[in-house]
Structure 1
Amino acid sequence: MMAAATTTASDRADGEQPDVIPPTRLQDWRARGSALVQGHLLLCVVAAYLVLRVFSAVVMQAVAWRQDPSYIFYSTGHQDYWQMTHVWDGRWYQTIVEEGYPAQLPGSDGTVDQNQWAFYPMYPFLVWVLMHLTGGSFAVVGSLLSLALGAVAVCLMAVLIREKVGAFAAFCVVCVFAASPPSPVLQMTYTESLALVLLIGALLALQRRQWWLAASLALATGLARPVAVPLAVVAVVALWLRWRARADDPIERREWVAMGSTLVGCGIASGIWPLIAWWRTGVPAAYTETMGAWRGGGKVVYFEPWVANFDQLFGNGLLAVTVLVVLLVGFMVITIGPWSDAMGPIMRTWLLAYGFYLLAVLDVWTSTYRYLLFMFPILIAFIGAGSTQRSQRLLVGWRTVIWVGLGLGWQVWWCWTLLVLKHVSGDPI
């Protein structure tokens, strides 16, 4: 026995390694998957995005069979996937493509009716150009354009997030985002895909201190989506952070000019579309009055609609306020807490600024689902990847799987509930 023990010790002293426990099949697959994502992030992102869009297409086709053609604008009488791509606001973009914007605000007795001026022009203009180049229909061209722009958006999203939390977490965030309940709008004739491209590009430019690019993209949002105001808050924070670092990294005169251009771009973007609406219609408040046509009281009111609509939803004033307060406090805790430190100041500021912006101007109801797509950085915290200490990022993959599953299930409910058009009598919202 002693001789055997001596021989073993001698063998190990000569360089023989002790037995190593081989990885399990699950660990091996996880290691390979992580390596694939690390080496081919954008390819994996696009593949996951397209797979999840196929899932949404199947759900939308199933929903189409339950649709009443009498509620579909521009309906062919045959309901299919392409018909479903331009329901709700999609029909307004089709009206813009085919008829343009009205020179006079429609309405009577001083009340403005719903009209095209509520919708920004960049997306319908791009669709109009592609329709004339390809000869395709609005539904096909518009939805495919949104699908392609959505792919660009998730690639930019992955790059933006990778710089803060790594490639694997970035891939997980994109998967949860692309499976989220409102994600079908990324393949519908809506402006979300285009706006996400511009917004994420601007955030990435600010994160990298590419001031002129950030200014250009911010300016472009003024014709695509009303997000310039919260984006301006992010720009101010980015400029302040750059100013604080001036002792170690001096700011040259050219950079001062470029930094100033970012604020100018955001400022112009915040007012350019209301000014165009004023110029074309002769009504100074043409845009805000048009937006008011979609509100329960016929005008834009700040903050109050959240309480009023929650009260209608829950049927109890105290319960409504309680739920609203819990949601707001929960949002602040998630965003400001240490579990979100890895987001960095740019994404964190965007979440806070955009969240406050929605609280101020949004008449919260069914469209809120779509607006929440722009709060994608919060998914970093949801999957547990927001800590600066990598040792505290536990079960990121499993959390991602759970969120993707929940998102797909909720997406089915969302499509079945909100994409089937029905007349709701007496609903003031």
Structure 2
Amino acid sequence: MRGVDLLHRRLLLCVLVAYLVARLFSAIVMQAVAHEQNPDYIFYSTGHQDYWQMTHVWDGRWYQTIVEDGYPQQLPTVGGVVQQNPWAFYPMYPGMVSLLMHLTGGSFAVVGSLLSLVLGGVAVVLMAVLIRDKVGAVAAFGVVCVFSASPPSPVLQMTYTESLALVLLISALLALQRRQWWLAAAAALATGLARPVAVPLAVVALVALWLRWRDREHDPIRSREWVAMASTLVGCGIAGGIWPAIAWWRTGVPSAYTETMGSWRSDGKVVYFVPWIANFDMLFHSGVVAVLVLLVLIVGFVVITIGPWGDAMGAVMRTWLLAYGFYLLAVLDAWTSTYRYLLFMFPILIVFIGAGWKERAQRLLVGWRTVIWVGLGLGWQVWWCWTLLVLRHSSGNPI
């Protein structure tokens, strides 16, 4: 009981400690696998592989390119086909890194990874508050522990945008959950320069606004609140189009952003839904098996999310899970990078640790489930670092 009392009184401190312990574990693993890295396949390699070198592999080198050279005025093309270029990457994170490098004189790897580490700490604190409001401090601590130990969690200390995007996303979800419409609008708008999550976030905003409208009889909506509520949708709408619009303005090509995103796809263009089936077919060597496995995953995800074992998470987090999950199904070319994208589905961990039931008496073995998931996550994280962070050939699987 003393531990439970501590969580209620010092929840935010406890989640920060858990987060930092998990990040120390990740740093040790990253340092351990660094000697397996082939410097010949690393952009900006110093020839000496260590923890700091590991923090900016893969997409990290694109952000370093943006910090050092900015965005190109002309899209690189070969035979009229747009090639991979920095316009696929949103500007808020590299802008923050560039500013801090100028102020501190630090290197990209050190400044960028430490910034991600700090922002990740802010994200888990906000996550704990968001979850505590619905299921209590103990469950909030459990979710943060499992999240911090999850396989792709090392990106929270790498030169990636996950940490920043989580801060903005969770701020928006928390504001929607508490009906703080202006704050939700500001956070949603900011995501437009950090991460392409505005579309599923807009779905969450619509549901939150509908729930508020439904309560209008016993809690009337004043004209000032109507304006604030509308601002939330406006923020999401602007966020969804602001970066493609900037890419168009800077390059003179209306489809600059979508063509750039298509350059990462196997067929050179963005195709909705189909890549999941194609990639599962490649994985299982059977189209029928691919479709069946995908259907099982979709049905399983929906059942986990909408079942009574998740009622306590509330409408905002539940809607986010469904909207974001189907958004990924529509736009993502599923492969190894899917691990990173799943970090944004953190509310599902409430169900995994058994804390999503409305009745607290039904929340059985939450502590033990948390310990089991943390152990599995740390073990899987070792595999993740060893397999996806280490480049042994130039066409390896990107994280």
**TM-score, normalized by length of structure 2?**
0.99
Alignment of 1:126 with 2:121, yes or no, is no
**1:54 aligned residue:** 24
What are the within-5 Å matches in structure 2 for residues 208-357 of structure 1?
208-357=178-327
What are the within-5 Å matches in structure 2 for residues 24-423 of structure 1?
31-423=1-393
Q: Secondary structure at the match of 2:203?
A: helix
Residues 55-104 of structure 1: CA distance to partner in whole angstroms, max 9, x if unpaired?
00000001111000011100000000000000000000000000000000
Superposed displacement of residue 109, structure 1: 1.3
C-alpha change, 1:216 and 1:377, in structure 2 (3 Å) is same
**1:17 aligned residue:** none
Residues 184-234 of structure 1: CA distance to partner in whole angstroms, max 9, x if unpaired?
000000000000000000000000000000000000000000000000000
Q: Secondary structure at the match of 2:226?
A: helix
Deviates most, 417-426 or 177-186: 417-426
Moved over 3 A (4+): 424-429
Superposed displacement of residue 142, structure 1: 0.2
Which of structures 1 and 2 has the bigger CA Rg?
A: 1
2:53–2:109 contact (8 Å) kept in structure 1: yes
In 2, distance between residues paired with 1:425 and 1:243? Answer: 52
C-alpha change, 1:46 and 1:428, in structure 2 (3 Å) is closer
Superposed displacement of residue 50, structure 1: 0.1
Q: Which amino acid aligns with 1:44?
A: C
Q: Which amino acid aligns with 1:59?
A: V
Residues 378-421 of structure 1: CA distance to partner in whole angstroms, max 9, x if unpaired?
00000000000100000000000000000000000000000011
Q: Secondary structure at the match of 1:59?
A: helix
C-alpha change, 1:427 and 1:169, in structure 2 (3 Å) is closer
How many residues align? The count is 399
* Aligned-CA RMSD value: 1.3
In 2, distance between residues paired with 1:233 and 1:428? Answer: 30
**TM-score, normalized by length of structure 1?**
0.92
Residues 103-135 of structure 1: CA distance to partner in whole angstroms, max 9, x if unpaired?
000012111110000000000000000000000
* Structure 2, gaps ≥5 residues long: none
1:234–1:350 contact (8 Å) kept in structure 2: yes
Q: Which amino acid aligns with 1:78?
A: H
In 1, distance between residues paired with 2:111 and 2:54? Answer: 14
2:309–2:357 contact (8 Å) kept in structure 1: yes
Superposed displacement of residue 427, structure 1: 8.8
Residues 263-296 of structure 1: CA distance to partner in whole angstroms, max 9, x if unpaired?
0000000000000000000000000000001000
Superposed displacement of residue 424, structure 1: 6.5
In 2, distance between residues paired with 1:295 and 1:64? Answer: 29
C-alpha change, 1:427 and 1:218, in structure 2 (3 Å) is closer
Q: Which amino acid aligns with 2:58?
A: W
1:296–1:428 contact (8 Å) kept in structure 2: no
Q: Which amino acid aligns with 2:87?
A: W
In 1, distance between residues paired with 2:348 and 2:51? Answer: 31
Superposed displacement of residue 35, structure 1: 1.2
Superposed displacement of residue 47, structure 1: 0.2
1:343–1:386 contact (8 Å) kept in structure 2: yes
Q: Which amino acid aligns with 2:62?
A: W
C-alpha change, 1:290 and 1:391, in structure 2 (3 Å) is same
Q: Secondary structure at the match of 1:276?
A: helix
2:388–2:397 contact (8 Å) kept in structure 1: no
2:150–2:378 contact (8 Å) kept in structure 1: yes
C-alpha change, 1:197 and 1:425, in structure 2 (3 Å) is closer
In 1, distance between residues paired with 2:343 and 2:50? Answer: 25
Residues 149-187 of structure 1: CA distance to partner in whole angstroms, max 9, x if unpaired?
000000000000000000000000000000000000000
1:340–1:387 contact (8 Å) kept in structure 2: yes
Q: Which amino acid aligns with 2:103?
A: L
In 2, distance between residues paired with 1:151 and 1:171? Answer: 13
C-alpha change, 1:427 and 1:210, in structure 2 (3 Å) is closer
2:58–2:398 contact (8 Å) kept in structure 1: no
In 2, distance between residues paired with 1:43 and 1:216? Answer: 27
Superposed displacement of residue 422, structure 1: 2.9
